[in-house]
Amino acid sequence: MKILAAEGPDITPIESSGEWHSATFWVLVVGAALLAVILAAVACWVARRRSSLAHKLGGKRGPDKALVFQPPRRATAVRSPGSATHYLRKSPSPTAAVPPQPQPTSPPRPHTPNPPSVATTPHTPTAPNEPTPLSKELADVHATEKVKPLEPETNDGKLGDLHFKLWYENVKSALVVSVVSCQNLPGREPAGPDPYVKLQLLPEKQHKVKTRVVRKTRCPVYDEDFTFYGIAPHQLTGITLHFVVLSFDRYSRDEIIGEVVSPLSTLQLQSGEAMALCREIQPRSLKMRCVGRGEVLVSLCWQPAAARLTVVLLKARNLPKMDVTGLADPYVKMYLLYNGQRIAKKKTHVKKRTLNPVFNESFVFEVPAAPNATLDHVSLELLVLDWDRVTKNEVIGRVELGANGTGSARHHWREVQAAPRRQIADWHKLKE
C-alpha cells in the first residue's frame, strides 16, 4: 500500500556560512586596536604631566636621580631700617617745629594751601575712629620717637583760634565751608594733641562732616572743603555753623577742646566770593555759667514685700540752652546704687528741641532681696543729658535720692520709706 506525503511548503535547512564569523572577527580586531591607541595616548599624557610636575618641583633633577646632600647655606644678617631711613617716618605738621634728624633724606616740601574750588564734591574724610592700614606701624614708630617738649603756655588759658573760609554758589545752590587751620591749641599732652574738627549746620543738625586727624601738633593745617547742596539763598540767614574741635584718642573717648559758633545772619556772603574768618575757640561749659540747670519731677513707690522700687520720670523744666538755637535734646539716665555701687541702669527716650520735656515713663528696679528689705543701703542717681549725634552727650545736671542725700532729695526718700506702696512725687533741682 503506497502512502502519499501531505502537501505543504518545502522547508530547506539553512547552512551556516563563514562570512558572519569573518565580519565579527574584524570588528573585534579594529575595536581592540582603537582601545590600545587610546590607552597609549592616555599613558603618554600622564607621563608628560608627571614629568612636567616633577620638573617644576625639583628643578633640573630627573625623577630617577638620587638626591645629593648639600650643606645648608649660612643665613645673611639683614639690618632693619633705622631712624635714618625714610621708611615709616612721622610726617610733622607743616607749621610745627621739626626736630633735627642726624641724616635727613630729603628736604621738607613747603606747604601750599589749596585755593577754593568752584566745582567741588562732598568731601568724605577719614574717620578718626577708623585706623588706616599703617596705623599700627605708625603707632610703634611714634612711641619710639623723641619729641621736643612744648614750652609753657602763654595764652592765659585760651583754647586757640579756628581759621575757616566760606562762600556760596548760586548756580549749584551750595554752601562751601573750608576748614583751614587751628592755631595755638592747648598742649594737654607733652607731645601735643591729635586735633580734628567736626562741623554741622544748625538748627537741623542733618549735615555733619569732619576733617582728618593731624597728629601731635597745636597748630594743625587742614585745608579741607565741605560742600552743602540744596541750600537756597534765602535760607542762609537761618543757618549757623557749629564747629567742635576735638583731640583724637585711640583707646578712649575723644577729648573735646572747645567749640566755635558762627551764625550766617551776621555775615554778608557774596556769590562766588570767599570770605576768610577767624574765631576764638570757646569752652563747651561756657553756655551753662551763671545759668541754673533746671529741675526734674520724679515719683517714687517702694514695695517692700516684692523688694521693688518703681520710678516714674514725669517731666523737667527750665533746662539750660544747650544749642545755639536756644533748645536742647534732653533725656534721663537712672542708676540704682546698692552700698554705693551701681547695680542697674535705665534711661528714657530723647525729647527733641525742648527745655521743658515731658517724659511720663515708668521704670521698675529690683532691690537685692534681704530679710526685712529696706531702702537704707539703696540710692537712686538721676542724670539729665543733652543728646548729640556728633559729639559726646553732655551732662546737664544730676541729683541723687537716698538716705545720704541732702535737701529735698533726702526728705523725699524718707517719705517714700515711711509710706510704702504709695506714689510720692517731688521736684528736685539739678546740680553739677
In DSSP terms, 383 is beta-bridged to: 333, 398
CA distance 79 to 85: 12
Instruction: Collect all residues with Cβ–Cβ distance below 8 Å to 431 and sequence separation of at least 6.
Output: 293, 397, 398, 399
Report the pLDDT averaged over residues 166-191.
87
Q: pLDDT digit string (tens) for 80-115?
A: 344 343 333 333 443 444 444 444 444 444 444 443
Report the pLDDT averaged over residues 376-401.
88
pLDDT beyond 60 at 208: yes
pLDDT beyond 80 at 124: no
Helices and strands (H, E) in the chain, number of each type: 3, 16
CA distance 424 to 405: 17
Lookup: cell for 187 = 598742649
Complete domains list, the chain, with CATH:
156-282 (2.60.40.150), 295-429 (2.60.40.150)
What is the structure's pLDDT at 302? 93
Q: pLDDT digit string (tens) for 211-249?
A: 999 998 999 999 999 999 998 888 888 888 999 999 988
The side-by-side arrangement of strands in the sheet containing 424-429 is 358-366, 308-317, 295-303, 424-429
Lookup: cell for 17 = 556560512
Q: pLDDT digit string (tens) for 256-282?
A: 889 999 999 888 887 778 899 999 999
pLDDT beyond 80 at 77: no
Q: pLDDT digit string (tens) for 11-36?
A: 555 555 556 567 888 888 889 999 99
pLDDT beyond 90 at 182: yes
pLDDT band at 143 (very low <50, low <70, confident <90, very high): very low
* Burial (CB count <10 Å: 0-12, 13-18, 19+), residue 118: exposed
Instruction: Collect all residues with Cβ–Cβ distance below 8 Å to 358 and sequence separation of at least 6.
Output: 314, 315, 351
For residues 237-272, one letter each, b for 16 or more C-beta atoms within 10 angstroms of the residue's C-beta and e for the rest, the string is eebbbbbbbbbbeeeeebbbbbbbebebeeeebeee
226-230-234-238 Cα dihedral, nearest 10 degrees? -60
Report the pLDDT averaged over residues 336-348.
92
Residue 18 corresponds to which amino acid?
Answer: G
DSSP assignment of 159-180: --EEEEEEEEETTTTEEEEEEE
pLDDT beyond 60 at 59: no
End-to-end CA distance of the chain: 152
Mean pLDDT lowest for which of 41-50, 148-157, 173-182?
148-157
Look at 110 and 316; give whichever has higher pLDDT. 316
Q: 116, 167 in Cβ contact below 8 A?
A: yes
Asked if the bond preceding 128 is cis, omega within 30° of 0, the reply is no
With pLDDT > 70 as the criterion, what percentage of the chain qualifies? 67
**282: which DSSP letter?**
B
Q: 213, 128 in Cβ contact below 8 A?
A: yes
Q: pLDDT digit string (tens) for 61-73?
A: 444 444 444 555 5
Residue 311's nearest CA partner among 393, 395, 413 is 413
Q: 150, 192 in Cβ contact below 8 A?
A: yes
CA distance 179 to 262: 13
Indicate the SS3 state at residue 272.
Answer: coil
The mean of the pLDDT values for the chain is 75
Lookup: cell for 219 = 597748630
